[in-house]
């Protein structure tokens, strides 16, 4: 624990340094003390030996032992007299007879060479450390002897012990101070490191809001500054990434096209709301959900598989069952690294397809519708030219057929013209305030004769005096078409009821007949151009197949809507609904 923390390591290092310092202090100081003691002993003995040597020169051999004992007690040292051949002549502490030859002792050898010999050694005789000093001397009748003094070195041990004790005391104080200083320095140091560590930890956890002191000029200050700079860069990068992500999210969310991203295993990694909405999936989709669980559309799955396998973008038009069989133009492309998946953009072309179909149908229909009356006109004209002109019985009949077909072609041309005019105009003609009652009355008057011929009664029910904004000729055209149909597709003795009323600030014109009705499945298509439920009946009764298309266009141009309800064999109700201008003031409701 201690060794794993920086504080512990620093303290341990300080401790080791202190011990090394103390060890070396002990080593050098004890050696110094010992040397000093030895030198001191040598100096002392040198002084004494120089006093004793002249005295010895007067001592005869016979009394040398006594002299030695006296000299020893005087000088408080062991005194030994050695002959030149190393034989001990006298010793203050031992019987010379028991002592070995001293001729090879280093101090004796030096003295024999005429110098002052000194040595420190353990005395084999006394078994203590002794400091020896020997000089050449002489006895009264024997000139060449060695005078040796020796003092035990017990004092050295005492001095060393004293020095050691001093060192220990000094070391304790110094160690304590050093440890305290090391502790405070390293604590301040580790606190800073901890702050840097926690700041770096926050960066790892993507929290870039933390703060750190960066003013220190040392290495830690520079580490802190680097980290601070890194955090600032990360924060800026994160901000840019999140801006970019929200921009992308907004773009994808506002796209009408469905966007789908899958991984290499066809698991959905992303889809936008348009896609989820189209395939009826609830957002947000579970992470990594297999595409198959959302869209069981083999064509889409195959397309993505092929894109992933080849790495080539592909485009295909397909109907997707999960999206109510709507038709999509799907553009699929691999990601940069195709092993990471692919992306598909689904463009809903159902409406486009419908329009294309309507356009094709329109062209086919118009050619078809023109061909029949034209063929008839041409056929009868040829017959007349081929001689039938002289045929008094039939020529009038033929001419009537030609005439009715020409009328039909004319009607068709004017209906088409009316439609294309409405489609082409950018600005509708100026709107006027129309009295619905007047327009209804005029329309009824126009069709009255036809109604009588077909034995159909027109009953104006409640016709309020409503006012709407629009163009009179157009509203009348639309109403005439509705009334024509109501008469033409009626049964003999049937009725056509016309109402005009308002509610919720909407004006409604309702035309109800008791005719043949319209099959339910045909209802959504009857407003298309040239659409007839029963072609033969429509043509026979002078229809062009454009009447309801004009009704729809007119109402929508005037800001209204047209709806139909019908029961087969019972009759149909067409309702035109416009924003009402309100009834004219002072004109009460009245039945017409
Ligand atoms: P057409 O010239 O054929 O009448 P329209 O556009 O006016 O053309 O009408 C389209 C088709 O809608 C008609 O052919 C007819 O089959 C059906 N239809 C329209 N009005 C009625 C109605 N009042 N009763 C029954 N069928 C109708």
In tens, the pLDDT along 535-552 reads 777 777 778 889 999 999
Tens of pLDDT along the chain (592 residues) come to: 455 566 677 778 878 887 888 888 888 888 888 888 888 888 888 888 888 889 888 888 888 899 999 999 988 888 999 999 999 999 998 888 888 898 898 999 999 998 999 998 887 666 778 889 999 999 888 888 999 998 887 766 777 788 788 888 887 887 788 778 878 887 888 888 888 888 888 888 877 777 777 777 788 788 888 888 888 888 889 889 999 999 988 898 889 999 999 999 999 998 998 999 888 888 788 888 999 998 888 999 999 999 999 999 999 999 988 888 899 999 999 998 878 899 999 999 999 988 888 788 778 888 888 888 899 899 999 988 888 888 888 888 889 889 988 988 998 898 888 888 888 888 878 889 999 999 999 999 999 999 999 999 999 888 788 899 999 999 999 999 999 999 999 999 999 999 999 888 899 999 999 999 999 999 999 998 888 888 777 777 778 889 999 999 999 999 999 999 999 999 999 999 999 875 544 344 433 3
Report pLDDT for 487: 96
In the three-class reduction of DSSP (H, G, I as helix; E, B as strand; rest coil), residue 497 is classed as: strand
Between CA 297 and CA 70 the distance in angstroms is: 131
Residue 261: count other Cβ atoms within 10 Å of its Cβ.
Answer: 18
From 512, 532, 535, 552, mutation site for ligand 1 pocket: most ligand atoms within 8 A of C-beta: 532
| CATH of the domain spanning 257-345 | 3.30.450.20
Report pLDDT for 591: 37
Report pLDDT for 588: 40
For atom 8 of ligand 1, the residue with the nearest CA is: 545
Between CA 433 and CA 569 the distance in angstroms is: 38
How close is the Cα of 533 to the center of ligand 1, in Å?
7
Residues with CB under 6 A from ligand 1: 481, 485-486, 489, 513, 515-518, 526, 531-534, 538, 543-549, 572
Architecture in CATH of 425-579: 2-Layer Sandwich (3.30)
Architecture in CATH of 353-422: Orthogonal Bundle (1.10)
Q: Which long-range contacts (CB under 8 A, 24 or more apart) does 60-68 make?
A: 60/139, 60/140, 60/141, 61/89, 61/139, 61/140, 61/141, 61/142, 64/89, 64/90, 64/139, 65/90, 65/96, 68/92
Structure tokens at 520: 């339910």
Q: Are 494 and 515 in contact (CB under 8 A)?
A: yes
Q: Is the dihedral of CA 239, 241, 246, 251 positive or negative?
A: positive
For atom 19 of ligand 1, the residue with the nearest CA is: 485
How close is the Cα of 564 to the center of ligand 1, in Å?
11
Concatenating the DSSP letter of every residue in 268-297 gives EEEE-HHHHHHTTPPSSPPTT-BGGGT---
From 485, 486, 536, mutation site for ligand 1 pocket: most ligand atoms within 8 A of C-beta: 485
Classify strands 457-463 and 495-503 as parallel, antiparallel or unpaired: parallel
How close is the Cα of 548 to the center of ligand 1, in Å?
7
How close is the Cα of 511 to the center of ligand 1, in Å?
13
Residue partners of 275: CB distance under 8 A and separation at least 6: 258, 259, 260, 281, 346
Question: How many residues in the chain?
Answer: 592
7-159 has which fold? Beta-Lactamase (3.30.450)
User: Whole-prediction pTM value?
Assistant: 0.48
> Which ligand 1 atom minimizes the distance to the CA of 531?
10
Concatenating the DSSP letter of every residue in 416-448 gives HHHHHHHHH-SSPPPPEEEEHHHHHHHHHHHHH
Between CA 177 and CA 175 the distance in angstroms is: 5
Residue partners of 108: CB distance under 8 A and separation at least 6: 82, 86, 102, 117, 134, 146, 148
Structure tokens at 104: 């090879």
Question: Do the first three CATH levels of 257-345 and 353-422 match, i.e. the same topology?
Answer: no
Between CA 327 and CA 347 the distance in angstroms is: 8
Bridge partners (DSSP) of residue 460 are 498
For atom 13 of ligand 1, the residue with the nearest CA is: 532
From 456, 489, 510, 522, mutation site for ligand 1 pocket: most ligand atoms within 8 A of C-beta: 489
Bridge partners (DSSP) of residue 315 are 331
The residue ranges of every structural domain in the chain are: 7-159, 209-254, 257-345, 353-422, 425-579
> Which ligand 1 atom minimizes the distance to the CA of 486?
23
């Amino acid at each position: 624990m201690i060794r794993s923390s920086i504080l512990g390591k620093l303290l341990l290092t300080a401790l080791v340094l202190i011990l090394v310092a103390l060890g070396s202090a002990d080593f050098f100081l004890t050696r110094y003390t010992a040397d000093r003691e030895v030198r001191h002993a040598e100096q002392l003995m040198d002084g004494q030996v120089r006093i004793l040597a002249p005295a010895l020169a007067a001592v005869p051999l016979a009394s040398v032992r006594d002299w030695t004992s006296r000299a020893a007690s005087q000088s408080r040292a062991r005194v030994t007299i050695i002959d030149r051949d190393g034989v001990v002549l006298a010793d203050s502490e031992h019987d010379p007879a028991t002592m070995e030859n001293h001729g090879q002792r280093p101090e004796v050898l030096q003295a024999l060479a005429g110098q002052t010999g000194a040595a420190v050694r353990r005395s084999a005789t006394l078994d203590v450390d002794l400091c020896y000093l020997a000089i050449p001397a002489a006895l009264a009748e024997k000139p060449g002897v060695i005078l040796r003094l020796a003092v035990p070195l017990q004092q050295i041990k005492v001095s060393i012990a004293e020095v050691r004790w001093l060192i220990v005391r000094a070391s304790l104080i110094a160690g304590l101070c050093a440890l305290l200083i090391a502790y405070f320095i390293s604590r301040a140091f580790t606190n800073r490191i901890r702050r840097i560590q926690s700041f770096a930890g926050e960066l790892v956890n993507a929290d870039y809001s933390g703060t750190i002191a960066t003013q220190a000029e040392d290495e830690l200050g520079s580490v802190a500054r680097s980290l601070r700079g890194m955090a600032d860069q990360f924060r800026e990068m994160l901000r840019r990434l999140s801006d970019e992500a929200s921009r992308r999210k907004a773009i994808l969310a506002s796209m009408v096209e469905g966007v789908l991203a899958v991984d290499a295993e066809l698991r959905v990694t992303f889809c936008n709301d348009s896609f989820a909405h189209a395939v009826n999936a609830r957002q947000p989709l579970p992470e990594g959900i297999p595409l198959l669980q959302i869209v069981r559309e083999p064509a889409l799955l195959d397309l993505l598989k092929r894109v992933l396998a080849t790495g080539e973008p592909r485009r295909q038009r397909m109907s997707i069952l999960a999206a109510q069989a709507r038709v999509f133009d799907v553009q699929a492309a691999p990601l940069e690294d195709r092993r990471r998946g692919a992306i598909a953009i689904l463009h809903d072309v159902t409406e486009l397809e419908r329009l294309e179909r309507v356009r094709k149908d329109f062209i086919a229909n118009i050619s078809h519708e023109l061909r029949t009356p034209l063929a008839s006109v041409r056929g009868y004209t040829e017959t007349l030219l081929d001689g039938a002109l002289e045929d008094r019985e039939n020529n009038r009949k033929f001419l009537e057929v030609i005439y009715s077909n020409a009328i039909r072609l004319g009607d068709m041309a004017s209906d088409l013209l009316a439609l294309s005019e409405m489609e082409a105009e950018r600005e509708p003609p100026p709107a006027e305030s129309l009295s619905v009652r007047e327009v209804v009355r005029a329309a009824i008057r126009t069709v009255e004769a036809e109604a009588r011929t077909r034995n159909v009664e027109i009953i104006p029910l409640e016709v309020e005096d409503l006012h709407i904004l629009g163009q009179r000729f157009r509203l009348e055209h639309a109403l005439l078409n509705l009334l024509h149909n109501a008469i033409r597709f009626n049964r003999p003795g049937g009725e056509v009821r016309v109402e005009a009323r308002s509610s919720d600030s909407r004006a409604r014109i309702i035309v109800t007949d008791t005719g043949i009705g319209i099959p339910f499945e045909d209802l959504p298509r009857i407003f298309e151009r040239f659409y007839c439920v029963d072609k033969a009946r429509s043509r026979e009764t002078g229809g062009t197949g454009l009447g309801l298309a004009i009704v729809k266009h007119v109402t929508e141009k005037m800001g209204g809507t047209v709806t139909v309800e019908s029961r087969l064999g019972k009759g149909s109700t067409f309702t035109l609904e416009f924003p009402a201008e309100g009834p004219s003031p002072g004109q009460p409701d009245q039945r017409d």
